[in-house]
Every structure is written in structure tokens, then in C-alpha cells.
Amino acid sequence: MNEFQDSQDSELTTPPGFKSGFVAIVGKPNVGKSTLLNALLGQKISIVSSKPQTTRDRILGILTQDMAQVIFIDTPGIHTPKNSLGEYMVTAATDAIGEGDVIVFMVDLTEWPDENDRRIARALSEVRDRPIILALNKMDHLLPPDEMKRHIEAYWALAPTQPGQEPPAPWEWIMLSATRGDNRQELLDQIMVHLPEGPLYYPTEQITDKQEREVVAELIREQVLLHLKQEVPHSVAVIVEQYDERKNGLVHIAATIYVERDSQKGILIGSGGHMLKQIGADARHSIQRMLDCNIYLELWVKVRKNWRNDEREVRRMGYRDE
């Protein structure tokens, strides 16, 4: 599919006044970053679940319009890491701050700012020359007006406007609902204002930098997150071992789901293999919707003990620094 092809065309041309740039979306876990990205693109490229730390790696989402190309950087939620995988995730997220022409700091309006929000704000206080948009998500959750006002003021107080921090980066704010759509277009308009004029970085039909097999692995992991509870989903990594497009149009995919303990393997497979079959069936439907073709999916489960605590194993699972 050409949506997932690498950008190789050096002859991409744009009309005068064409804008382009990178927009880093940062925030703590579960504030709606991936939901926003998928909604803006009109297509699912980043998996979503109610569990924290669903996004593990940075993902580029490419939105091309007549006079602009916006390249969103979806990032893992910034948190206090407890293992090598967590350290990688936080590094991937904080590195994106330095790469964005515009930074969207996304927060959960229904919650009071916590230490993770303050940690992100401290990192953003080092930004001097790029606009930062404080995106107060989940405005569709009905808070009493006085409580909403207090929350907005508490988040706005995180902006670096204190003496000794001048000149601060220009901060703006907007309330929105990534799921329902309130002010989603307004946020995009706000971003467009700040984008510099620039080239077409990617072909107009490309929507992400991820290869098909990488997206497939994430869609399989999403189903594990949706079907299982407690610690098991966080211990899972998925590697696509085989991806073959057959002459009859069928795509044959074989993937291995890795867990950290034998007990987790048993839970993932389930009694009589029922759980693994359900995960496989739902993943196959999700992959078919994405690829728009018939899929034959094989899943295997293997144990790689404590892989999240081993930097070498984290890299082997595909989480690598560029």
C-alpha cells in the first residue's frame, strides 16, 4: 500500500506559500494523544486503549492538504520509568520536543495537574523559539463550571512566565474533545498559523512513516490490551515474523507474541486456546480493515523472561534509538 511507502521522491514540488512542519504531541499517559492523531488523519495509525502507556514508540502521522503538510509526532506518555522499556519510551517522547516546529502539550482537563504534567512543563520551559499549545482535552466530560475554571487555571499556571524565565516560548491554550470533535479543527487551524513555509517532505498519499508489518504488530498488541487485564498486556511485545502477499490477493501473516513469564503465556493462550483465538480473530478483522484485503493470521506465544528490564532485549523487540 502506498500509504506506508518510504519517501524517496526528491522532486516533490509545492506552490508558493506552501507550509510544512513537524508537530510534537506530548503529554502524560492516557490524555488522548493517539485518539487525536487518528481523528485528525481520518484513519487509524496509532493504537488506542484505556490502559496507560499504550503508545510505546514515536509515530509520524502525515496530514497533507492543498497548501500545507502537517507531520504529527505521536509520542509515548511521559511518566516515571520503572524499566528499560519505560526509559526508552520517555526518551522517545522528550526527544520529540526538540524536533517539533510546534508543540502540543496535551492534558486531561478532568484531572488536576500531577507530577508528570509538571515534569513535562519543566521540559517545555527550556523551549524559547517555538510555539506551545496547551490542549485541554476531554471537555466533553461534564465538570461543574467552577471546577473546570480551577483546572484550566492550574494547567495554565504551568506555563513558564515567572521572572528569570524570559523570554518564554509563546504559549496558547485551547479546550477540545479528541473523541467527540469539539474544537479539533480549531486546534488544527491554530497549528497551521504557526507552521513555517517549507517543502513537501512526504508524498501526498503517505500517511505514516511506519511499514505495514510494524502497524500490523501494533494492531495485534492492541487486541491483547483490549482483551487482557492487569500486568499481562504491559509485558507483551509483538514481532511479525512473516508477511507474504500471495498471488490470490491473500496476505499471510505470522507473528510471535512475547511475554515475560510462563504464567502470562498461559493467561494469553487461555483455556483450550480460547483467548488466543479471540485475540487472533479480532486482530485479523482490524488488519483487514487497514489493508483492505483478506488476511490469514497465525499467532504464536513465547516467553522471553523479564525482557522489559534488559536493554538488549528491548532493542530486539524493535524499540531502537534512531
Q: Looking at residue 183, which CATH number applies to its domain?
A: 3.40.50.300
How large is the greatest C-alpha to C-alpha distance in the chain, in angstroms?
67
Note whether 257 and 235 are within 8 A (CB).
no
Q: How many domains does the chain have?
A: 2
- Whether residue 246 is contained in a domain is answered as yes
Q: Does residue 321 fall inside a structural domain?
A: no
- Tell me, yes or no, whether 167 and 216 share the same domain: no
291 in a structural domain: yes
66-84 per-position pLDDT tens digit: 999 999 999 999 998 999 9
Same domain, residue pair 90 and 190? yes
The verdict on residue 300 lying in a domain is yes
Residues 106 and 146 both lie in one domain = yes
Beta bridge partners of 299: 255
Bridge pairing between strands 19-26 and 295-303 = unpaired
Contact 160, 120 (CB under 8 A): no
Same-domain check for residues 16 and 138 = yes
Residue ranges of alpha helices (H) inside the chain are 33-41, 84-97, 115-124, 145-156, 184-194, 212-227, 262-269, 274-291, 311-316
Q: How far apart are CA 274 and CA 33, in angstroms?
A: 32
Are 224 and 167 part of one and the same domain?
no
Under DSSP, the state recorded for 260 is S
- CA 135: distance to chain centroid? 16
Same domain, yes or no, for 187 and 227? no
Residue 223 and residue 186 share a domain: no
Task: Give me 229's grid cell.
Answer: 487485564
The answer on 120 and 226 residing in a single domain is no
Residue 199 lies in a domain: no
Element (H, E) at 214: helix 212-227
**Which residue in the block uniquely carries the three cell numbers 498486556?**
233
Neighbours of 108 (CB within 10 A): 21
Q: Based on the fold, state whether residues 170 and 233 are members of the same structural domain.
A: no
End position of a domain, from candidates 194, 228, 261: 194
Q: Give the pLDDT of the chain (322 residues) as one tens digit per residue.
A: 444 444 444 446 788 999 999 999 999 999 999 999 999 999 999 988 888 889 999 999 999 999 999 999 999 999 989 999 999 999 999 999 999 999 999 999 999 999 999 999 999 988 888 999 999 999 998 889 999 999 999 999 998 765 444 445 689 999 999 999 999 999 999 999 999 999 999 999 999 999 999 999 999 999 999 999 877 888 999 999 999 998 888 999 999 999 999 999 999 999 999 999 999 999 999 999 988 899 999 999 999 999 999 999 999 998 876 5
Beta-carbon contacts of 317 under 8 Å, excluding residues fewer than 6 positions away, are 237, 239, 258, 307
DSSP 208: B
pLDDT for res 185: 97
Q: At what angle do helices 33-41 and 184-194 cross, to 10 degrees?
A: 80
CATH number at residue 281: 3.30.300.20
Q: Which of 161, 194, 227 is a domain's end point?
A: 194
Say if residue 38 is in the same domain as residue 71. Answer: yes
The SS3 assignment for 110 reads coil
Same domain assignment for residues 22 and 142: yes
Residue 317 pLDDT? 93
Give the pLDDT confidence score for residue 168 in this predicted structure. Answer: 55
**pTM exceeds 0.85:** yes
Which domain-ending residue is among 136, 162, 194? 194
Give me the helix-helix angle, 115-124 and 84-97, nearest 10°: 40
Q: Is residue 102 part of a domain?
A: yes
User: Closest Cα to residue 106, out of 50, 195, 176?
Assistant: 176
User: In this structure, is residue 172 part of a structural domain?
Assistant: yes
| Integer Cα distance of 280 and 277 in angstroms | 5
Shared domain for 143 and 289, answered yes or no, is: no
Looking at the domain assignment, is residue 31 inside a domain? yes
> Given this model, what pLDDT does residue 169 score?
62
Quick one: which H or E segment has residue 191?
helix 184-194
42 CB burial (10 A radius; 0-12, 13-18, 19+): exposed
- Residue 60 domain boundaries: 6-194
